C-alpha cells in the first residue's frame, strides 16, 4: 500500500505525522514508501497510542521498544513451541506440560 492509500484508509491521520513516524523509523515501510500489512497495523497502533491512550510523543520510542521486545520474546516462545511439537511425541509433551505445572506451583509456593 502506498503512502497515499494509507492516508485515505486512515482519514484521521495527518500526512505530516505519518512522515514523521517514518523519518523516526517508528514505522519502516520498504523503500520508505511501500507499506506492508504489518506497517499499516503499526501505523494504526501508533494512532491509537497517541490519540486514544494519549501517550506523549517523547514516550513513544520507549513504548515501541518495549513492545518490540515483547513481541520478539513471543516469537521466540512460538519457535520453542513449534520445535517441541515437531521433535516430540504426545507422551513427551504431556510430560513437559506436567513438569511445567509442577515448576509453576513450586514457584508460587516460594
Partner 1 sequence: MDLYQTLGVSRDADAAAIKRAYRKLAKTNHPDLNPGNKAAEERFKTISSAYELLSDPAKRARYDAGEIDDQGEERRPQQSYSSHAEGPAGSRYRSSDGPDFSDIFADYFRTGGEAGGADPFGRRAQRNPRGQDRSYSLDVDFLDSIIGATRKLTLPDGKTIEVKIPAGINEGQVLRLKGQGGPPGREGAPAGDALIEVHIRPHPLYRRDGDNIALDLPVTLSEAVLGAKISVPTPHGTVAMTIPGGSDTGTKLRLRGRGVPAHAGKPAGDAYVTVKVVLNPADVELAKFLRDREPDGFDPRTKLQEHV
Per CB under 8 A, the list member of 73, 95, 96, 103 interacting with partner 1 is: 73
Torsion sign (Cα): 24, 29, 33, 37 = negative
Per CB under 8 A, 13 contacts partner 1: yes
Per CB under 8 A, 65 contacts partner 1: yes
- Phi, then psi, of 89 in degrees rounded to 5: -95, 170
To the nearest 10 degrees (0 to 180), the angle between helices 15-23 and 37-47 is: 110
Chain CA centroid to CA 102, Å: 30
Per CB under 8 A, the list member of 53, 75, 106, 108 interacting with partner 1 is: 75
Per CB under 8 A, 12 contacts partner 1: yes
Give the CA diameter of the chain.
Answer: 56
Question: Could you give the angle at the alpha carbon of 20 between the alpha carbons of 38 and 9, nearest 5°?
Answer: 50
Q: 30 to 49, contacts with partner 1 by CB under 8 A?
A: 36-42, 44-45, 47-48
CB of 76 to partner 1, least distance (A): 6
Footprint on this chain of partner 1 (rule: CB under 8 A) = 8-14, 28, 36-42, 44-45, 47-48, 65, 67-69, 71-76, 78-79
Amino acid at each position: 500500500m502506498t503512502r497515499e492509500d494509507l492516508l485515505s484508509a486512515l482519514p484521521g491521520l495527518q500526512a505530516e505525522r505519518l512522515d514523521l513516524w517514518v523519518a523516526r523509523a517508528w514505522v519502516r515501510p520498504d523503500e520508505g514508501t511501500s507499506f506492508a500489512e504489518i506497517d499499516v497495523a503499526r501505523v494504526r497502533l501508533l494512532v491509537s497510542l497517541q490519540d486514544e491512550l494519549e501517550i506523549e510523543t517523547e514516550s513513544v520510542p520507549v513504548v515501541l521498544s518495549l513492545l518490540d521486545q515483547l513481541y520478539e520474546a513471543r516469537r521466540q516462545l512460538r519457535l520453542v513451541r513449534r520445535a517441541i511439537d515437531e521433535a516430540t511425541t504426545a507422551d513427551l509433551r504431556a510430560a513437559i506440560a506436567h513438569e511445567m505445572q509442577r515448576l509453576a506451583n513450586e514457584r508460587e509456593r516460594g
